[in-house]
Amino acid sequence: MFEDIMQKFAGSPGQQAVIRLLLERGFSVNDDGRVVSGDIEIPYTQVADAAGVDRRVVDSTTEAILEDDELRRIFQNISQIPSLMDLAPVLDLTVVTVEVQDADEPGIVAEVTGLLAEHGISIRQTISEDPEFTDEPRLYLVTDEDLPGDVLTELMNKPFVRSVELS
């Protein structure tokens, strides 16, 4: 799906940068063509600065989104999910980042969360990046405690795991 969306803007790297930003941040486009997060409007100049483009590129991108039925459905229904990852150090939580060999392989989230549950480790939040939206998707787990060494070793020995990082 991500490739299909980006293909619609193949002739404009600037518009692709805006699309990437909207998807990464979970920003929507309302009926007026304004970039929003929920009901809060985000000025084109701020979107442009974050995407590294001119504000007119943001305007033309939102116009193109509204003119395309498929893009309109996607970008009018996208939303943000609050993340505990940035708050983890403040709340004394642990973030476990798992990089996998093949993110399209079924059962990865179930196996990782099952392993932690087997060892009595409470998971406060799980965030899985979509393999269609990012080149190297990761699985993030926010836990109440550090992973014991044996659990970390068991996780790292899973055949689908490329690397594990704790922060």
User: Do residues 139 and 126 touch, judged by C-beta distance below 8 A?
Assistant: yes
Residue 1: band (very low, low, confident or very high) from pLDDT cuts 50, 70, 90: confident
Q: Find where tokens 């116009």 sit.
A: 63
Residue 2: band (very low, low, confident or very high) from pLDDT cuts 50, 70, 90: confident
The secondary structure of 96-130 as a DSSP string is: EEEEES-TTSTTHHHHHHHHHHHTTPPEEEEEE--
Q: What's 88-166's CATH class?
A: alpha beta
DSSP 146: P
Domain ranges of the chain: 2-75, 88-166
pLDDT tens for 118-159 read 999 999 999 998 887 777 889 999 999 999 999 999 999 999
